[in-house]
Amino acid sequence: MKLGIIGYGNIGSMIVNNILKLNLLLDDEELIVSNRHLNKFEGLIKEYPKENLNISSDNEEIAKQCEKIIISVETPQFKEVLEEIKPFINEKTHIIYTCAGLNFNHIKPFYDGKLTLVIPTLASTVTSNNSISSLSRRKGITLIKHNNKVDLQEKLFVEDLFNEFSFVKEIQNFEDFNDNNTFSIKDAELEINTILTSCGPAFIAVMIENLAKITSEMTNISKKEADEMILKTVIGTAILKDNQELSNRDIINKVATKKGITQEGVNLLDKKLTKINRELIKTLLNRYEEVNNEMNKTYLKK
């Protein structure tokens, strides 16, 4: 079996490196990766010189050799890539793509084959060989959505692959639009899940960055030192919550005493964050609607 991956950006490179670092390829399996700029592969070739790995700048070769193709490019580039490889694929080809905001109905007018949308997160990056044989290597959540042409074995292939280094959540409904091809915030299951999982690391990093910066400005603690303390606390809290199955309220009650210092902070944050988070979700869903309209113009124009 040959697996093709087109695109070696942040997400494409994470998938490729996870596959190789975890040694997920069997002896008779081959990974073929293409990217316009071959110099991006220099580090990969040095690290995995003997793996079943081939690199290329030719997407057509991947289309000719692989039935399972992961397309991991920027959303506006997807149509160009798919039209480039279309002459070389057939009814057995399973296209797996990581382009956020691009739905099946956008693609259907020019490709009506097997499609799976995968929304990974950089939180699933395998960073150490120490945990390769441990369940702890699974981090973050990968969202997966199949169209109705993908059979059970094909679904299991994708889900099992990403389940090796993340927790997989399948989005069941594959229809994205109403009859007018308009975005419905009311039914934005995939979008809400994406905000919480794929977008989540950036939001958490913003909060850590901001708190460390403010702390360093108001005290003699360096930003680097503050950042490290906050990071270690976030990691420890997440492990505590996960391992002991504590609710958020359990942790708050264990740390904050009535009328104490921590409780003052909790009260302030609870009040401020309710407004901020509502505005965050609303802003991002509005942006999803704008992206949907942009995709309609690009993909559904007569």
The predicted-structure confidence for 5-30, as pLDDT tens digits, reads as follows 999 999 999 999 999 999 898 888 89
Mean pLDDT of 221-234: 97
Nearest to 200 by CA among 173, 226, 174, 238: 238
Known binding positions: 59
Q: Provide the mean pLDDT of the chain.
A: 90
pTM: 0.89
Mean pLDDT of 40-64: 88
| Intrachain domains 2-179 and 200-290 with the same fold | no
Strands 114-119, 141-146: pairing kind: antiparallel
> pLDDT value at position 127?
80
In this predicted model, what pLDDT tens digit does every residue of 131-164 receive, in sequence order? 555 556 789 999 999 999 999 999 999 999 999 9
In the chain, % of residues over pLDDT 70 = 91
Known binding positions for NADPH: 59
The third-level CATH classification (topology) of the domain covering 2-179 is Rossmann fold (3.40.50)
The better pLDDT of the pair 176, 83 is held by 83
Task: Report residue 4's pLDDT band, with 50, 70 and 90 as the boundaries.
Answer: very high
> pLDDT value at position 223?
97
Nearest 10 degrees: Cα torsion 144, 148, 152, 154: -60
> pLDDT value at position 131?
52
> pLDDT value at position 167?
95
> pLDDT value at position 292?
87
The third-level CATH classification (topology) of the domain covering 200-290 is ProC C-terminal domain-like fold (1.10.3730)
Task: Report residue 173's pLDDT band, with 50, 70 and 90 as the boundaries.
Answer: low
In this predicted model, what pLDDT tens digit does every residue of 199-218 receive, in sequence order? 999 999 999 999 999 999 99
> pLDDT value at position 184?
63
Q: Where are the domains of the chain?
A: 2-179, 200-290
> pLDDT value at position 175?
54
